[in-house]
Every structure is written in structure tokens, then in C-alpha cells.
Amino acid sequence: MTSFYISVAAGFGAVVRLAIMDLARTSNVLKRIAFPLSTFFINIVGTLLIAIAVRHLGTSNTEQIIAAGFLGGFTTFSTLTNEMIQLWRGHRYWTCVIYVVITYASSSAAIYCGYIYL
């Protein structure tokens, strides 16, 4: 039964991610920035929340539903990869490299902060 709840939670996480990304697409400010901020924000916040959930909830069913389910559906490695490819194909090499480095460095910092401080 836990698998069912994880699946439902993942669906909710994906819907929340889509809503945030749609909101970002309609933002006049974000349209002018040549950097995929919505995916960056989603992945960093999601990573931080996963670390907090794992630290505080251990290996309980609740942790699995929240971390693997909702936050697994919320975060998006596939969109990150797609955006990296689009940047590279658009000959925006430095933006692509900066995006990758900043995303992985920030994710690592978020995991550390989530486990140690929060």
C-alpha cells in the first residue's frame, strides 16, 4: 500500500512543479533572464527538503512518501538535462557550464545544510 501512496504523492509533486514552472514562464522578469531559474530553484529547494525529510523522518513510510514520492516528483533531473542540452545546442556554452556547476554545487550545499543544520 505504501507504493500506492508514494505514486500519488509523486503525482502531486509533479503538479506543483508544473505550476511553478508555468508561473515562471509567464513572469516578465524571468523571461528576460537567459538562465533556467525555475528548474534551478525547484531542484535546490527539493534537494534541501529531501535532506530534511530523511534526517527527521528516518526510514519510515512517511519519509518514503514525502521524499521519494512528493519530492521525487517535484524535483526534475530530466528537465535539468534537457535544459543543459538546449543551452549547448543554442551555442550558449558558458551558460550551460555555469548552470551545471551552480546546480550541482548548490544541491550539495542544500543536502549538507538539510542534514546538518535543519
pLDDT tens, N- to C-terminus, the chain (118 residues): 789 999 999 999 999 999 999 998 887 776 777 789 999 999 999 999 999 999 999 888 999 999 999 999 999 999 999 999 999 999 999 999 999 999 999 999 999 999 998 8
Can you say which residues are annotated as belonging to the binding site?
72, 75
Alpha-carbon gap, residue 33 to 35, rounded angstroms = 6
Distance of alpha carbon 98 from alpha carbon 64, whole angstroms: 32
Side-chain-side CA neighbours of 73 within 13 Å: the count stands at 19
pTM: 0.90
Binding residues for Na(+) are: 72, 75
Q: Give every CB contact of residue 46 below 8 A, 6+ residues apart in sequence.
A: 71, 74, 75
pLDDT value of residue 101? 97
Q: Give the pLDDT score at 58.
A: 83
Task: List, as one string, the DSSP characters of 95-107.
Answer: HHHHHHHHHHHHH
Q: How distant, in Å, are the alpha carbons of 48, 62, 65, 66, 70 from that of 58? A: 15, 9, 12, 11, 16
